[in-house]
Amino acid sequence: MMPKHITYTIIFLCLPFFAVAQKKKQTYKSKMENFRVKKKDFKKNRYFAAGGSLNFMTYFGDLAPTENFFSTDISQIKPGISAHIQYHYGPRMSLKAELMYGRLTGDDFSSASPDKTDERTRYLRNLSFRNDIIDFSVMSRIHIFKNYLEFKERKFFNIYFTGGISIFYHNPKGKVPDFDVHGRRYPNSGEWVALRPLGTEGQQSEFYDIKPYSKIQLAIPVGGGFNFKLTERLDFSLEFDYRFLLTDYIDDVSNRYVDLGALTSEMARSMSDRSREEYAVMTGQERDLTGVEFVTYVSKYDGNRYTVIQGYGTDGASRGGAGKDTYFVTSFKISYIIQKSKRRDQ
């Protein structure tokens, strides 16, 4: 049996270690309690941020280089701007309202080659457009890394995903050619005119049961991005999102040609079928029309004769492709936290 003085000595020597262990246990409990309090009371740490962004809008639709979902013409990417306000209401959740302006463009001449068999059909079609978009969206943002603390203690770097709904105004336009389909010069050649009122696919014609598309449309934005803390109140984000549209007329091209005699004006006929034009719409460059076959038909609607390239400008010929249009937005965002801090800014 161990002598008492040795037992007391061992106990005395171990006391500091028991004290340290107990202190660590209490510290851990305290941290966990603080964590639970912070998690429960995050509403005290909610905050607002506001800012703006430089955007680049990429068009995907009937005038894209191919029918591939990711096919685009880099030369048609245009800049835009936006303003937003964001509410951080959870440890990794926020809600953003954003108003965005940008321009989409497309051009068969620049995105297709007359020398490639799979592109020549679109090159001969020779359609083009521009469309100024005003988009209002409400989107949720989910961060990968949580933050239960005040905004000043938010993560230096975070990854997030977004999704929501947007409503946008659009009005596709086309550039007036030099001559109409009968060879008469337009006095306003080179101007941009709205395409929707013309009904280029028979929407305004009494002979076709096709409704005009609305200039107000819905879209489903889905994407994600990377967020960086620049200062205590300033963030920078690089964001990417797809706008899945509920319309196929962002470019005024969707379905098939109609009989040119059924359209309501010379301008409608010119904008419906541009395959015979000798020069490119956007650049004015001469087009390669070697080897094309011209045909002439008499319209059953107005009795006039129309000469077109075989496969274009006749009733039922393919003008667009299947599926809805989409566009892609790349954003460089700056956000400033406008919430009042619980302690004085340093």
Residue with more model confidence, 310 or 12? 310
Residues 50 and 142: their CA atoms lie apart, in Å, by: 17
Please give the distance of CA 337 from its chain centroid, rounded to a whole number: 25
Residue with more model confidence, 221 or 63? 221
- Checking if the pLDDT of 44 tops 90, the result is no
Please enumerate in sequence order all residues whose Cβ is within 8 A of that of 10, keeping only pairs 6 or more positions apart, or say none. Answer: none
Question: Which pLDDT score, from 0 to 100, does residue 157 have?
Answer: 95
Mean pLDDT (whole number) for 137-149? 93
Residues 285 and 107: their CA atoms lie apart, in Å, by: 13
- Checking if the pLDDT of 346 tops 50, the result is no
Distances (CA, A) of 27 to 41, 52, 73: 21, 43, 60
Question: Which pLDDT score, from 0 to 100, does residue 318 have?
Answer: 94
Residues 272 and 319: their CA atoms lie apart, in Å, by: 9
- Checking if the pLDDT of 267 tops 90, the result is yes
Question: Which pLDDT score, from 0 to 100, does residue 339 have?
Answer: 76
Please enumerate in sequence order all residues whose Cβ is within 8 A of that of 257, keeping only pairs 6 or more positions apart, or say none. Answer: 201, 272, 273, 312, 313, 314, 315, 316, 317, 318, 319
Residues 28 and 50: their CA atoms lie apart, in Å, by: 37
Q: What percent of the chain has pLDDT over 90?
A: 69
Max avg pLDDT among 27-31, 167-171, 284-288: 167-171
Contact 286, 98 (CB under 8 A): no
- Checking if the pLDDT of 233 tops 70, the result is yes
Residue in the structure block whose two tokens are 């196929």: 248
The 10s digit of each residue's pLDDT in 98-126 is 999 999 999 999 888 888 888 899 999 99
- Checking if the pLDDT of 146 tops 70, the result is yes
The amino acid at residue 11 is I
- Checking if the pLDDT of 19 tops 50, the result is no
Residue in the structure block whose two tokens are 């209490």: 26
Residues 108 and 127: their CA atoms lie apart, in Å, by: 6
Pinpoint the alpha helices (H) of the chain.
4-40, 108-111, 117-125, 266-272
Comparing CA positions, the residue from 282, 253, 292, 260 lying closest to residue 107 is 282
Q: Which residues pair with 129 in a beta bridge?
A: 106
Mean pLDDT (whole number) for 300-314? 95
Comparing CA positions, the residue from 97, 196, 179 lying closest to residue 141 is 97
Kindly report the average pLDDT of the chain as a whole number: 87
Mean pLDDT (whole number) for 167-175? 98
The amino acid at residue 73 is D
What is the phi-psi region of residue 311: left when phi exceeds 0, alpha when psi lies from -120 to 50, beta otherwise? left
Burial state string for 310-320 with b = 16 or more CB within 10 A and e = fewer than 16: ebbbbbebebb
Mean pLDDT (whole number) for 149-168? 93
Confidence bin at 287 (pLDDT 50/70/90): very high
Confidence bin at 17 (pLDDT 50/70/90): very low
Enumerate the domain spans of the chain: 42-337
Residue 44, phi then psi, degrees to nearest 5: -70, -20
Question: Which pLDDT score, from 0 to 100, does residue 301 have?
Answer: 96
The 10s digit of each residue's pLDDT in 67-81 is 555 556 677 788 999
Question: Which pLDDT score, from 0 to 100, does residue 323 have?
Answer: 81
- Checking if the pLDDT of 340 tops 80, the result is no
H, E, C per residue of 111-124: HCCCCCHHHHHHHH
Residues 111 and 264: their CA atoms lie apart, in Å, by: 30
| Fold adopted by 42-337 | Porin (2.40.160)
- Checking if the pLDDT of 138 tops 70, the result is yes
Neighbour count for residue 262 (Cβ, 10 Å)? 21
Residues 301 and 238: their CA atoms lie apart, in Å, by: 54
Question: Which pLDDT score, from 0 to 100, does residue 180 have?
Answer: 92
SS3 311: coil
pTM, whole model, 2 decimals? 0.83
